[in-house]
């Protein structure tokens, strides 16, 4: 679930390896993780209690595999310490890697690890894992009492975390990192100039000339990856047209793109481009982020991994803060919905030998103490509520603040996870709109046409969402 495009070269190599699979007999391995029915024998059954809800057996061992990517693996060692403080006689064999699929998939059908963080470029396809019955539903983890706070584990999670890990009605994936998307700005600069971060496009358009007068471009975006500007476009669509309109769009409902509020949202972006408020040139994600850090532009939109990603090149006296995506103003149907969600998923294989300890370990990961360490070490929010409360980091604090003021609904778009064709088309059109080669009306027409085409195509399996 890594949201950053990371290294293009790495993706290339992955694709090359996958292309090799296409034409080699090894293709049979692709389905090698096909599990038989989940084994029912609970060989790890210890005494169950409120304090030990899964019955972890003293003296047993649990094997944990951590994805060592942008977030590192230091946070997981803290969780191990928390776990071992309670279960000194349970051995935690922790290892970390970037090659999750390469190393873990062959073991899934026989002797898998107990806890696998399925993330990064080389991750196992989640819907395949679910369809093949290869991973364990973790609904009992949600219902278990929280490690070090009141209520159940589910009660301690940030909104969206349960939904993001639920497939076909069951909770399978514990997404540990919580990402908030929005518009970033340099608060030191804004304080000095007396600017306030806008809440609506109108406020932004009013502020833009003042920014330009300082020799800065008001806005910079990633022109390489179409899904970067797409987050922002769709966030505005959601705020303006409301949740139901986006649900209809995701469900390929007829004329969903022509719903009230969709076009005006995109027209705001069209105006931003037409008024030449963008930094000239076409940059990729890190180049645009660096241009923003260098003070060439006032705003950039991206997720909360930004600080970690750019840590090496943040200039002194630069204080990055996130603010909510802009809406249109009074006509907005959902002005206070924030774009946020959980990622970096951990799964428990159905054939894991020590599932009790695996779930208990996850309970430790989601603990207050563990998630606080996570936020402190990674500068990203954990999926557990309040993880960033005691971290002295302005970027994290601003994300925390944004979440506290958010309404209960979170912006989430499923379109691009449902259909590869619409993923491609929406990325391309978003880039075209931002390049000024497409008007908002053309964008709507083309998206509607693409959606209709998918809806009519019987070879594509349809998916739906209710909320």
Partner 1 sequence: MRHGVARFVTGFLALPVGLYLFYVVWPFLQAAGYSLTDWGGYSDRQQFVGLDNYLRLFSDELIRKAFWHNVFFLITVPLFTIALALFLAFLLNVGGREDKAGIRGVFGSGLYKVIFFFPQVLSLVVIAVMWQQIYRADGQGLINGMLMKIGLVSEDEPITFMYDPEPFLGVPAVLWWLLLIAVWSGAGFYMVLFSAAMQSIPKDVYEAAILDGAGRFHTFFRITLPLLRDTVSVAWVYLGFIALDMYALVFVMTPSQGGPNHASEIFASVLNFTAFQKGQFGYACAMGVALAIFTILLAALQLRITRRERIEY
Smallest gap, in angstroms, from Cβ of residue 412 to partner 1? 21
Measured CA to CA, the distance from residue 65 to residue 73 in angstroms comes to: 10
Total residues at the site for partner 1 (CB under 8 A)? 42
Smallest gap, in angstroms, from Cβ of residue 280 to partner 1? 5
Is there a contact between 385 and 158 (Cβ–Cβ < 8 Å)?
A: yes
- Is 223 a residue that touches partner 1 (CB under 8 A)? yes
Smallest gap, in angstroms, from Cβ of residue 84 to partner 1? 38
Sign of CA dihedral 156, 159, 160, 163: positive
Smallest gap, in angstroms, from Cβ of residue 410 to partner 1? 26
Paired with 166 in beta bridges are 171
Is there a contact between 26 and 112 (Cβ–Cβ < 8 Å)?
A: no
Nearer to partner 1 by C-beta: 8 or 58? Answer: 8
- Is 448 a residue that touches partner 1 (CB under 8 A)? no
Measured CA to CA, the distance from residue 230 to residue 222 in angstroms comes to: 10
Nearer to partner 1 by C-beta: 46 or 226? Answer: 226
Q: Which of 48, 404, 424, 462 binds partner 1 (CB under 8 A)?
A: 424
Q: At what angle do helices 355-365 and 74-86 cross, to 10 degrees?
A: 120
- Is 427 a residue that touches partner 1 (CB under 8 A)? yes
Question: Of 47, 76, 71, nearest to 60 (Cα)?
Answer: 47
Question: Of 131, 116, 120, 134, nearest to 343 (Cα)?
Answer: 120
- Is 441 a residue that touches partner 1 (CB under 8 A)? no
The bridge status of strand 115-118 relative to strand 61-67 is parallel
- Is 458 a residue that touches partner 1 (CB under 8 A)? no
Measured CA to CA, the distance from residue 8 to residue 284 in angstroms comes to: 11
Paired with 410 in beta bridges are 338
Measured CA to CA, the distance from residue 120 to residue 99 in angstroms comes to: 8
Question: Of 276, 287, 284, 342, nearest to 310 (Cα)?
Answer: 287
Show contacts with partner 1 in window 98-137 (CB under 8 A). Answer: 125, 128, 131
- Is 452 a residue that touches partner 1 (CB under 8 A)? no
Smallest gap, in angstroms, from Cβ of residue 23 to partner 1? 4
Q: Which of 112, 120, 226, 327 binds partner 1 (CB under 8 A)?
A: 226
Measured in degrees and rounded to the nearest 5, phi and psi for residue 50 equal -65, -30
Q: Which of 85, 143, 420, 441 binds partner 1 (CB under 8 A)?
A: 420
Is there a contact between 90 and 357 (Cβ–Cβ < 8 Å)?
A: yes
Residue appearing with tokens 């959601």: 238
Sign of CA dihedral 274, 280, 283, 287: negative
Q: Which of 429, 440, 447, 450 binds partner 1 (CB under 8 A)?
A: 429
Q: How many beta carbons lie within 10 A of that of residue 36, not counting itself?
A: 11
Q: Which of 77, 107, 210, 282 binds partner 1 (CB under 8 A)?
A: 282
Q: How many beta carbons lie within 10 A of that of residue 441, not counting itself?
A: 12
Q: 3-class SS at 450?
A: helix
- Is 86 a residue that touches partner 1 (CB under 8 A)? no
Q: Which of 6, 139, 309, 421 binds partner 1 (CB under 8 A)?
A: 421
Smallest gap, in angstroms, from Cβ of residue 303 to partner 1? 19
Nearer to partner 1 by C-beta: 22 or 467? Answer: 22
Q: Which of 283, 372, 410, 444 binds partner 1 (CB under 8 A)?
A: 283
- Is 459 a residue that touches partner 1 (CB under 8 A)? yes
Query: Torsion angle, CA of 81/362/385/409, rounded to 10 degrees?
Result: 160
Give the x/- contact pattern for partner 1 in 18-57, rule: CB under 8 A: xx--xxxx-xx-xx--x-----------------------
Smallest gap, in angstroms, from Cβ of residue 353 to partner 1? 26
Is there a contact between 285 and 4 (Cβ–Cβ < 8 Å)?
A: yes
Question: Of 420, 4, 7, 427, nearest to 226 (Cα)?
Answer: 427
Nearer to partner 1 by C-beta: 167 or 195? Answer: 167
Smallest gap, in angstroms, from Cβ of residue 405 to partner 1? 35
Q: 3-class SS at 198?
A: coil
Q: Which of 97, 308, 428, 448 binds partner 1 (CB under 8 A)?
A: 428
Smallest gap, in angstroms, from Cβ of residue 124 to partner 1? 10
Measured CA to CA, the distance from residue 6 to residue 308 in angstroms comes to: 12
Nearer to partner 1 by C-beta: 273 or 381? Answer: 273
Span interacting with partner 1, options 219-227, 318-326, 328-336, 350-358, rule CB under 8 A: 219-227
Span interacting with partner 1, options 40-48, 66-74, 305-313, 424-432, rule CB under 8 A: 424-432
Smallest gap, in angstroms, from Cβ of residue 213 to partner 1? 16
**Footprint of partner 1 on this chain (CB under 8 A)?**
8-9, 12, 15, 18-19, 22-25, 27-28, 30-31, 34, 125, 128, 131, 223-226, 276, 279-283, 287, 291, 420-421, 423-424, 427-429, 431-432, 435, 437, 459
């Amino acid at each position: 679930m890594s949201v950053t495009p990371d290294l293009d070269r790495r993706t290339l190599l992955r694709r090359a390896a996958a292309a090799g699979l296409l034409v080699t007999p090894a293709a049979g391995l692709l389905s090698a993780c096909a599990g038989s029915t989940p084994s029912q024998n609970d060989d790890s059954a210890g005494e169950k209690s409120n304090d030990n809800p899964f019955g972890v057996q003293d003296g047993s061992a649990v094997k944990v595999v951590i994805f060592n990517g942008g977030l590192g693996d230091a946070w997981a060692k803290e969780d191990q310490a928390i776990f071992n403080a309670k279960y000194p006689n349970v051995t935690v064999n922790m290892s970390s890697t970037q090659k999750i699929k390469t190393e873990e998939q062959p073991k899934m059908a026989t002797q898998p690890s107990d806890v696998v963080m399925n993330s990064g470029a080389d991750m196992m396809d989640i819907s395949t894992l679910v369809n093949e019955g290869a991973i364990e539903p973790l609904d009992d983890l949600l219902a278990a009492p929280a490690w070090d706070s009141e209520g159940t584990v589910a009660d301690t999670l940030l909104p969206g975390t349960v939904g993001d890990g639920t497939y076909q009605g069951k909770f399978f994936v514990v997404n540990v990192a919580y990402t908030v998307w929005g518009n970033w700005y340099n608060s030191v600069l804004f304080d000095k100039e007396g600017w306030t971060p806008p809440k609506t496009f109108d406020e932004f358009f009013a502020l833009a000339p003042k920014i330009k007068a300082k020799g800065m471009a008001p806005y910079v975006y990633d022109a390489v990856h179409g899904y970067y500007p797409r987050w922002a476009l769709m966030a505005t669509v959601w705020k303006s047209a409301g949740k139901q309109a986006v649900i209809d769009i995701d469900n390929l409902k007829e004329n969903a793109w022509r719903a009230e509020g969709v076009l005006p949202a995109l027209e705001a972006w069209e105006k931003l481009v037409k008024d030449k408020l963008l930094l000239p040139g076409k940059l990729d994600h890190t180049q645009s982020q660096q241009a923003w850090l260098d003070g060439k532009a006032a705003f950039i939109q991206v997720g909360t991994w930004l600080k970690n990603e750019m840590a090496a090149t943040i200039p002194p006296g630069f204080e990055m803060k996130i603010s909510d995506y802009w809406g249109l103003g009074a006509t907005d149907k959902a002005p206070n919905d924030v774009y946020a969600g959980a990622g970096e998923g951990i799964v428990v294989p159905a054939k894991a030998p020590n599932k009790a300890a695996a779930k208990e370990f996850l309970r430790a990961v989601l603990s207050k103490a563990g998630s606080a360490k996570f936020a402190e070490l990674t500068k990203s929010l954990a999926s557990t509520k309040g993880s960033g409360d005691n971290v002295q980091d302005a970027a994290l604090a601003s994300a925390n603040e944004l979440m506290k003021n958010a309404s209960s609904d979170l912006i989430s778009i499923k379109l691009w996870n449902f259909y590869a064709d619409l993923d491609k088309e929406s990325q391309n059109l978003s880039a075209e709109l931002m390049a000024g080669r497409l008007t908002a009306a053309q964008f709507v027409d083309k998206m509607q046409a693409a959606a209709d085409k998918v809806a009519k195509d019987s070879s594509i399996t349809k998916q739906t969402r209710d909320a």
